Every structure is written in C-alpha cells, then in structure tokens.
Amino acid sequence: MITENDLIEAIAECQGQRNPNANTCIKLAAYYTILNNLQATAEKNSVGVSKKETPTYSYAPPDNSETTVNYQSDSEFSKLIDGKSAVKIWAVMDELMSAVSLFNVKLYNDVMRKLNEI
C-alpha cells in the first residue's frame, strides 16, 4: 500500500519536472487526491468517528529514503534549507536550475561543469 511519504515524494517529483505535460498534471491530481483521502481517513480515526479495522499504511518496513538536509553556513540559503526535506529542497533547486538555464546560460554551464567535477 502507498504511504503518505511515497505520495509526498511523488508530488515533489511532479512539481520539479522541467517540462510538465498533461500526463504530469493527471498524475499530480491523482497523488493529491490519494493524499487527501489518506489524511482524511487518519483524521477520522484520530477523533473516533470512523474507526477502520484495516490500517491506512502498508506492513512494509518504513521507507528511510526521505532524508533531511544537513548543511550549515552563515548564508541565508543555508539557514532556510538546514533540516528540511531533501526531496522538497531538490525539487526547488531543479526548478531554479531550469530558470537559470533559460536566463543565464553561462552561469548554468558553469554550475553544471562544477557538478560534473564532483
């Protein structure tokens, strides 16, 4: 069964796509619908309105692929991203790099070269 973390990662991936199309929008709508239903079910269960016998998550071991960013420096950027979801941060960075590739090709190429050297 799909977990809430799986859905959040899938949503971030769709939002980070460079050239989204209709198929991306359909997937995104489906992911949000499922996520909303999971959250609504969890809320009902927590207030006792509609207890279910079956859990709203799978019996698979927890997915530890969701990591947090551990980056500290004196910059404003570092302070904003430190401790936040890496998947969400990378989606924002992908969107930024797409914009940079359109508006400043030289800067984009320099960054890509540096990343290639790592």
Phi and psi at residue 68, to the nearest 5°: -105, 155
Encode pLDDT of 5-42 as tens digits. Answer: 888 888 888 888 888 888 888 888 888 888 888 777 76
pTM of the prediction? 0.43
* Cα-to-chain-centroid distance, residue 5: 9
Verify that 73 and 118 share a domain, yes or no.
yes
Verify that 71 and 89 share a domain, yes or no.
yes
Verify that 45 and 89 share a domain, yes or no.
no
Adjacent-strand bridge partners of 68: 85
- Work out the mean pLDDT of the chain and round it to a whole number: 80
pLDDT at 55: 56
Verify that 97 and 113 share a domain, yes or no.
yes
Tokens of 113: 């070269």
Tokens of 79: 């302070």
Q: Is 23 helix (H, G, I), strand (E, B) or coil?
A: helix
Verify that 57 and 74 share a domain, yes or no.
no
Verify that 13 and 41 share a domain, yes or no.
yes
Query: What's the domain range around 116?
Result: 67-118
Tell me the C-alpha distance between 76 and 81, whole Å.
9
Domain end, chosen from 63, 81, 109, is at 63
